[in-house]
Chains A and B, each alone.
Chain A
Amino acid sequence: MVSSFSVYEDTMHATQSLPATSGMYAGGMQIPKTVKVSQLNHYFGEGELRKQALHQNNLEVRRGEIVIMTGPSGSGKTTLLTLVGTLRTVQEGSLKVLGHELNGATRDAIVMLRRELGFIFQAHNLFESLTAFQNVNMAAELNGLDHGAAKERIDYLLNRLGLGQRIHYKPKSLSGGQKQRVAIARGLVHQPKLVLADEPTAALDEQSGREVVTLFQELARDEGCTIIMVTHDNRILDVADRIVNMVDGHIRSDVAVHETSVICEFLRQFPLFADLQTSTLTEVADKMMVAEAGAGDVVIRQGDPGELFYLIRSGGVDVIVEHDGEASKVAELGEGQYFGEAALLRDEPRNATIVATAPSVFYTLGKADFKAVLARSKSFVDELRNVLASRT
């Protein structure tokens, strides 16, 4: 047990800097990522007018994820989107899209890569001279889609988007929402691996907006299509697998929605947190970090000062209490359960040793954050008593 101690130290350090809500550990690692942004800086203007638009952006997007980017206007989300979409030249840092490094990529490589992307712009940008079908076909024929297959897919998409009766209409005879839906079909027809959309539902009524995002979800699920969209439309936030919030060129938060809800569910089982608002729980989840341990690793040692609160994301641990030089196992904890809170609450040393029984992932919360959360719980003192009273 002593021999494995140093191993555990190393492992803890290696993963300490990953936020729990990034979702990196939820389904295991996936390589390569559809989009991998590392240390990306971007500037506008020249000389004295040079202004930094993006600061040290890091972002990973997995295949089949639907990512919604939010943030006030001027926060850099559109700049990041155009960079990912190869529409701007990468200046500093690394940006990999579908496995291609864009920093220093050749013009031809970018033109070829663009054919694997789908763009949906806020303005429909349809050719007035072409029918809905022909407009969509402009994207299909560029990718060498077989004529029959292209027709089938265009018909399917336009029907799906409620334009079945208007396939051969020109944009002049279509309403704003219908034109936008034609543009969406154009962005999706060539089965892009990555769709970049800017307010795709802004011009749409609730029902057709819902139809569009449902279609996005189907494409993500069935074709492994990754979708990154900028939107202010709260009605469609529920389809997001990940929400990236940007402020002043910084990625302020990058949250895997499902993972966050899992963490919130786990946290809610902790009596002290049970009456907290979802928004508060989400903030707590945001502050948690990832820690890993192998089977047999000591996570906490009795007598050490307590610094972290642990939530078990996966795996399991034994709780071992040493009394008069004799160690006895008092409990086994599994997924969704927690430990380490007592030392934080009482400012005491650890009262037990925790040993991982299997390769495990923990989400940890620092002492200061832990106490800050508790302070917001009105019934904290009462709860505390109950909790402490119920513990052995």
Chain B
Amino acid sequence: MPLPNKTPLAWKNLTHDWRRLAVAVAGIGFAVLLMFTQVGFQNALFDSQVKVIDDLAGDIFLVSRAKYTLAAEKRFPRELINQANSARGVIGAYPLYTELTLSRLKNLSAGASGKAYPIRSIGFHLSDPVFRSPEVNRQLSKLYAPGAALIDLRSKRDNFDFPMEDEAALAAAPAELANRRVTLVGTFKLGTDFAHDGNLAMSAESFARFFPQRVRYGDPLSVVDIGIVHVENGADVLEVRDAVDALLDDRVFVYTREQFRNEEIRFWDESTPIGIIFTAGKIIGFVVGMVICYQVIYSDIADHMPEFATLKAMGYSTGYFLRLIVVEAVLLSLIGFVPGLVVSAGLYSMLAEATGLQLQMTVDSVLLVLVLTAAMCIASGMLAVRKLLAADPANLF
């Protein structure tokens, strides 16, 4: 029974041979790094999928029931926005228009390819508080000019090679959006994701001018991609959501910000291979760690068989040995986790700088990897402990 004042055999055995410990720590640290890489990339990619949601203002969001992901161009009639506006607790409901299929941006500068590349266009009424980003809100006045748009600074440079750092040069750059002249009056930051290589933000009026075909007969602004609803200060968002939901028919989903975000991540995680790929990556990291950890614990046991058999002869019970190995496994996972975490944090910041991906060491991912590491070590310990339980003190004489 390893009580506080008992001989800490697990710790002593683990730290006795520093070379072996160093190898073990390196191995487990590597497994931790592998898992952090997978978790980090997955989070980064999922975060970039929902970055647009994070950048939108509002508490409740309306999307068409048919819209299974942000990139699916399923829309709902604008009347629903007005209906939502009348729900209790709502202080404002605003439409957001997005277009990808028709939205192709061509760089006509000398030396540019002159090819048109798809880019997401986001249209909104300039008086509506739909963006959180102060960059966009600061430049609203520039967007009143017909055909004016802000371009996402993080757009894919290969496709959209505009002089984004220089506002005057950018505004002068000749470009066409859906075969109409567009003036890039400034930049904002949003970021790319799996479906979108870049973004443009513009007034609803410009948007309607660029994409008249959006609705075959009628007003291109009569259908909305995302409805943004602001809730009164102090109102319970969930209650308001229910009220809006009750008010609207079932052509739309009514989401809180968190639900909206989760639904979008769930789509990428569960309905695309991305989730599987990263899960496989995590499993590989887990298995690599398990193999390394098993080796460490197994060889520790194998090297001390006569000693453990002697403990058995003394009257140490099976329970003691199980606890001993669990303690050893947990210690091992903690010792291996710390350097793995440090190296991963370094790698995250390096990669974030190099790729622009949202690689962040969040508390959730640290806890996740820590739990995985501990589980990995305990599982391999339980595999290795069979060897220990087979130790036969009768062979000692």
A and B from one assembly? yes
Smallest CB–CB gap between B316 and chain A, Å? 6
Check if B13 sits within 8 Å of A87, measured CB to CB: no
**Number of contacts between A and B (CB, 8 Å)?**
76
B5, B6, B9, B313: the one contacting A87 at CB < 8 Å is B313
Chain B residues, CB < 8 A from A125: 306-307, 309-310, 396
Report the separation of the CA atoms of residues A123 and B313 in the bound assembly, to the nearest whole angstrom: 14
User: Digit string of A69-99 for contact with B (CB within 8 Å is 1, else 0)?
Assistant: 0000000001001100101100000000000
Chain A positions within 8 Å of B12 at CB level: 127, 129-130, 134
Which residues of chain A have C-beta atoms less than 8 A from B392's C-beta? 87
With A127-B12, A130-B12 already in contact, the answer to whether A82 and B394 are too (CB < 8 A) is: yes
Q: Identify which of residues 88-113 in chain A touch chain B, using a CB-to-CB cut-off of 8 Å.
A: 88, 111-113
* Given A125-B307, A125-B309, A128-B16, A138 contacting B393 (CB threshold 8 A): no
| A107 → chain B closest CB, angstroms | 8
In chain A, what residue has the closest Cβ to B392?
A: A87
List which B353-397 residues lie within 8 A (CB) of chain A.
392-394, 396-397
The distance in angstroms between the C-alpha atoms of A263 and B234, with both chains bound, is 106
B360 to chain A, nearest CB (A): 40
Report which of B7, B15, B313, B316 forms a contact with A119, defined as CB distance below 8 A. Answer: B313
Closest to B10 in A: A129
Cβ-based interface call for A142 (8 A): yes
B residues near A111, Cβ cutoff 8 Å: 315-317
In the complex, B115 has a CB within 8 A of chain A: no
Given contacts A85-B313, A115-B315, contact A138 B9 (CB under 8 A): yes
Contact A87 B306 (CB under 8 A): no
**Contact indicator per residue, chain B 323-351, by CB within 8 Å of chain A (1) or not (0):** 00000000000000000000000000000
Contacts of B7 in A (CB 8 A): 130, 134, 137-138, 141
Are A122 and B397 closer than 8 Å at their CB atoms? yes
| Complex contact B315–A123 (CB within 8 A) | no
Q: How far is the CB of A112 from chain B (nearest CB, A)?
A: 7
Measured between alpha carbons, how far is A292 from B173 in the docked complex, in Å?
128
Whether B304 sits at the interface, judged by CB under 8 Å, is yes
Number of interface residues of B (CB under 8 A): 25
CB distance from B135 to the nearest CB of A (A): 60
Q: Is A139 an interface residue (CB 8 A)?
A: yes
A125-B307, A129-B13, A141-B7 known; A112+B397 contact, CB < 8 A: no
Chain A: which residue is nearest B303 at the CB level? Answer: A128
Smallest Cβ distance from B120 to chain A, in angstroms?
Answer: 62
Residue of B nearest to A230 (CB): B397
Interface of B is mostly: helix
Tell me if B110 is interfacial: C-beta within 8 Å of chain A.
Answer: no
Bound CA–CA A79/B343 (angstroms): 55
Residues of B within 8 A of A119 (CB): 310, 313-314, 393, 396
Q: Are A142 and B315 in contact (CB under 8 A)?
A: yes
Q: With an 8 A cutoff between CB atoms, is A262 at the interface?
A: no
Total number of A residues with any Cβ neighbor in B under 8 Å: 32
B307 cross-chain contacts in A, Cβ below 8 A: 125-127
Q: Verify if A65 is at the interface (C-beta below 8 Å from B).
A: no
> Cα distance A134–B12 when bound, in Å?
10
Indicate if the CB atoms of B315 and A82 lie closer than 8 Å.
no
Q: When chains A and B are docked, how far (Å) is the Cα of A114 from the Cα of B12? A: 25
Bound-complex Cα distance A182 to B304 (A)? 17
Q: A125-B309, A138-B7 are in contact. Are A87 and B394 (CB under 8 A)?
A: yes
Interface string of B1-41 (1 = CB under 8 A from A): 00001110100110110000000000000000000000000
- Interface membership of A147, Cβ < 8 A: yes
Per-position contact with A for B280-305: 1 when CB-CB < 8 Å, else 0? 00000000000000000000000010
Contact among B6, B306, B313, B396 for A114, CB-based, below 8 A: B313
Q: Flag whether A25 is at the interface (Cβ < 8 A).
A: no
Q: Max chain A CB contacts within 10 Å: which of B304, B312, B317, B394?
A: B394
Q: A85-B313, A138-B314, A139-B314 are in contact. Are A127 and B9 (CB under 8 A)?
A: yes
Q: Chain B residues near A87 (CB, 8 Å)?
A: 313, 392-394, 396-397
- Asked whether B311 is an interface residue with its Cβ less than 8 Å from the other chain, the reply is yes
Closest chain B CB from A226 CB (angstroms): 17
Q: Is A307 in the interface zone, CB < 8 Å from B? A: no
Are B5 and A147 in contact, CB atoms less than 8 angstroms apart? yes
On whether A198 and B9 interact (CB within 8 A), knowing A112-B315, A119-B314, A123-B306, the answer reads no
Contacts of B9 in A (CB 8 A): 127, 129-130, 138
For B317, list chain A residues within 8 Å (CB).
Answer: 111
CA distance A115 to B314 in the complex (A): 6
Residue of B nearest to A199 (CB): B397
A contact residues around B5 at 8 Å (CB): 147
Contacts of A147 in B (CB 8 A): 5
With A87-B397, A123-B306 known to touch, is A129 a contact of B16 (CB < 8 Å)?
Answer: yes
Given that A114-B313, A115-B314 are contacting pairs, would A82 and B16 also be in contact in the complex, using a CB cutoff of 8 Å? Answer: no
**Which A-chain residue is minimally distant from B319 (CB atoms)?**
A111
| Distance in Å: Cβ of B220 to nearest Cβ of chain A | 76
A197 → chain B closest CB, angstroms: 10
Q: Is the CB of A138 within 8 A of B311?
A: yes
Contacts of B6 in A (CB 8 A): 141
Bound-state CA distance A198–B315 (Å) is 18
Known: A128-B16, A130-B12. A88 touches B394 (CB 8 A): yes
Query: What is the bound-complex CA distance between A199 and B15, given in angstroms?
Result: 32
Do B315 and A121 touch (CB < 8 A)? no
Contacts of A230 in B (CB 8 A): 397
Minimum Cβ distance to chain B for residue A283 (Å): 31
* B153-191 vs A, Cβ < 8 Å mask (1 yes, 0 no): 000000000000000000000000000000000000000
Bound-state CA distance A81–B394 (Å) is 9
On chain A, the residues within 8 Å of B304 by CB distance are: 127
Q: Which residue of A lies closest to B310 (CB)?
A: A125
Given A129-B12, A134-B7, A138-B7: A121 and B396 interface contact (C-beta under 8 Å): yes
Determine the distance from Cα of A134 to Cα of B317 in the docked complex, in whole angstroms: 19
A183 to B246, CA, bound (A): 80
Instruction: Please tell me if the beta carbons of B310 and A121 are within 8 angstroms of each other in the complex.
Output: yes
Q: In the assembled complex, how far is the CB of residue B8 from the closest CB belonging to chain A, in whole angstroms?
A: 9
Selected contact of A81 from candidates B16, B309, B397, CB within 8 Å: B397
A81–B312 Cα gap in the complex (Å)? Answer: 16
Closest residue of B by beta carbon distance from A138: B7
Distance of A130 Cα from B10 Cα, bound (Å): 11
Cβ contacts A to B, 15 pairs, < 8 Å: A81-B397, A82-B394, A111-B316, A115-B314, A119-B393, A121-B306, A127-B9, A130-B12, A134-B12, A138-B7, A138-B9, A138-B311, A138-B314, A142-B315, A147-B5
Q: Footprint of B on A, CB under 8 Å?
A: 78, 81-82, 85, 87-88, 111-115, 117, 119, 121-123, 125-130, 134, 137-139, 141-143, 147, 198, 230
Q: With A82-B394, A85-B397 given, can you name 19 additional A-B contacts, CB distance below 8 Å? A: A87-B313, A87-B394, A88-B394, A111-B317, A113-B315, A114-B312, A114-B314, A115-B315, A117-B315, A119-B393, A119-B396, A122-B397, A123-B396, A125-B310, A126-B307, A129-B9, A138-B7, A138-B314, A139-B314
Q: What are the 4 closest A-B residue pairs judged by CB atoms, nearest first?
A: A129-B16, A114-B315, A115-B315, A129-B12
